[in-house]
Chains A and B, each alone.
Chain A
Amino acid sequence: MSAQLKAGPAVGAGTGRALRVRASAAVVVAVLGAVLLVPLLFPLDEQAVDMANKLQAPSLAHPFGTDDVGRDVLLRCVYGMRVSLLVGVVAALTATVIGTAVGAAAGAAGGRADRMVMRLVDVFSSVPHLLLGIFIVAMFRPGVWPVVASVGLTHWLSTARIVRAEVLSLRSRDFIDAAVSGGASRWRVAVRHLLPGVLPRAGLAAVLMVPHAIWHESALSFLGLGLPTHRASLGNMIQSARGTLLAGDWWPTLFPGLFLIVPTLAIASLAGVWRERINPRRRSELML
């Protein structure tokens, strides 16, 4: 080796992304820490009002200000995030389990069963899922679980499609033939060769769905169909702050809005990194 080695041209390209990933991770960790720790330190009485302190602008005592009945916006934001995350995660998991089961069954069965299931998925997809979600929550009394059901039961369609496509593509690979030839049972092929290939994608779909589900929860609450109005949820907070915004009091709307947007973007950004892990560009011959 004579001369010193020159760095490849693209060496600096990754730093901006690395920063974004780090910032996203920090946001997610901070939010998780807040929703887990704050309720232990600062219990919230959801029914309490303090009319003497209503609509205070942000200050040291109330960094995010107070709302139209004198409640601390920061504390309610954290509690709201807690509810939103719970709804988002449980709904996303529900949707993923249903979607994976339907997609894997359709892909593995193939033929007429596959066609029938996928037509059914098409029919479901043709109905706007917010409308379907409203229909589901309307059947129950307001609460967390109807919202979870409403989001979870309407969002498995895309996961089912992704998982089915993945199963179909894996099924045609020679290694499945090799497994069959090597004496593997149907069950073994499904559990050992098909499922592990599908799970990363299903998991990714689940993570990507968490922000989406949080938005849905907020949308339903904003429409007055979600959680009971006294519950601290981001959607409820934005909804009840509508009147104050017109009067020029911006904080009861802005902060819950930021709590909705920033963590969901951070989750989506981390999911994007994961997606690249699953789908690496073809490695060069020598990267082996």
Chain B
Amino acid sequence: MTGTALPALELDSVTAGYQRRAPVLRDVSLTVAAGESVGLLGPSGCGKSTLAKVAALLHRPYAGTVRLGGEPAGGWRHRAPRAQRTAVGVVFQQPRLAADPRLTLAALIAEPLRATGRGAQATERVAQLAQAVGLGDDLLARRPHEVSDGQLQRACVARALALRPRVLVCDEMTAMLDASTTAALVAVVEDYRQRSGAALLAVGHDRALLERWCDRTVALGAVAGPRDGTELRSVPRAPADRSAG
């Protein structure tokens, strides 16, 4: 790990949830260095998706701080400065819910570019991204209901990479996908991470997958969570595993 630079993503004593009296996350801290990939493991209902949303500045925590590149988050959702919001790319579990059903895949991938006034570069950048995730022109012209889950998730990954985020959050990105598409999308994300030096937070419940994919995995316990406010238990990837790729 780099050590010298400020961590790309830092969650400090975050308490979050949907009812103030019963938060799903209590006092959770997590640090992801630039260029590092961290797998966040946990059973369903443990709050790992909430944590992913907090990390992407999409959900306001009740307490705690989120820092991106050392800079505290200026707000949440629309109140977050646009530069901070777009510094984190997000991929969700269910591509069907994460894609606006009215947009073609090309428009879907271009959406962040258009939303940030970079529509002029859209055509060129979409072509690059589509090639990276393996989508042909034929598929780009279709709408979500005309493609498979795997193809739609490829488009969603391309959309998350469109603004070249410094942090990528993948929330159960491959839970709906078959083995080959899973491996293909992980390869796309890893290729981007290696070239850009972005940080990766991969959230999921598949230990075998996350241990193979990430530099280290941390476990998020049951709803009660670590009350003492310590750093999440970290399990570095075994060196034997690392050589295996």
Contacts and interface: CB of A to CB of B under 8 A. Distances in A.
- In the complex they form, do A and B come into direct contact, defined as C-beta atoms under 8 angstroms apart? yes
Contacts of B78: 180, 185-186
B244 interface: no
Interface size range of chain B in the complex: 20 to 34
A174 B98 CA distance: 4
Contact of B97 (A175, A196, A288): A175
Nearest to B117: A183
Nearest to A194: B100
A181 B145 contact: no
A180 B58 CA distance: 8
A182 B112 contact: yes
A25 to B, nearest CB: 26
A178 B159 contact: yes
A54 interface: no
Interface string B69-86: 000000001100010011
A182 B97 contact: no
Most buried by B among A177, A178, A180, A188: A178
B65 interface: no
B56 A181 contact: yes
B111 A174 contact: no
Contact of A177 (B82, B90, B145, B146): B90
B61 to A, nearest CB: 16
B146 A288 contact: yes
B162 interface: yes
Contacts of B89: 181
A175 B98 contact: yes
Interface in A184-204: 184-186, 188, 193, 196-197
B58 A177 contact: yes
Contacts, number: 71
A236 B124 CA distance: 65
Interface string B202-245: 00000000000000000000000000000000000000000000
Most buried by B among A174, A177, A179: A174
A183 B58 contact: no
A174 B156 CA distance: 11
A173 B86 contact: no
Nearest to B90: A181
B131 to A, nearest CB: 20
A193 B112 CA distance: 13
A283 interface: yes
Contacts of B99: 175, 178
Interface string B87-124: 01110101001111110000000011001100000000
B99 to A, nearest CB: 6
A195 B3 CA distance: 47
A181 B90 CA distance: 7
B116 to A, nearest CB: 4
B6 interface: no
Given A173-B97, A174-B98, A196-B102, A179 B115 contact: yes
Contacts of B163: 182-183
Contacts of B53: 177
B55 to A, nearest CB: 11
Nearest to A287: B145
Contacts of B92: 174, 177-178
B100 A183 contact: no
Given A174-B92, A288-B148, A184 B97 contact: no
Contacts of B58: 177, 180-181
Contacts of B1: none
Contacts of B115: 179, 182-185, 188
Interface in A270-288: 283, 285, 288
Interface of B: 53, 56-58, 77-78, 82, 85-86, 88-90, 92, 94, 97-102, 111-112, 115-116, 145-148, 156, 159-160, 162-163
20 contacts: A174-B92, A174-B94, A174-B97, A175-B97, A177-B53, A177-B56, A178-B156, A178-B159, A180-B78, A180-B85, A181-B57, A181-B88, A181-B90, A183-B85, A183-B116, A184-B112, A186-B78, A196-B102, A288-B145, A288-B148
Interface of A: 173-175, 177-186, 188, 193, 196-197, 283, 285, 288
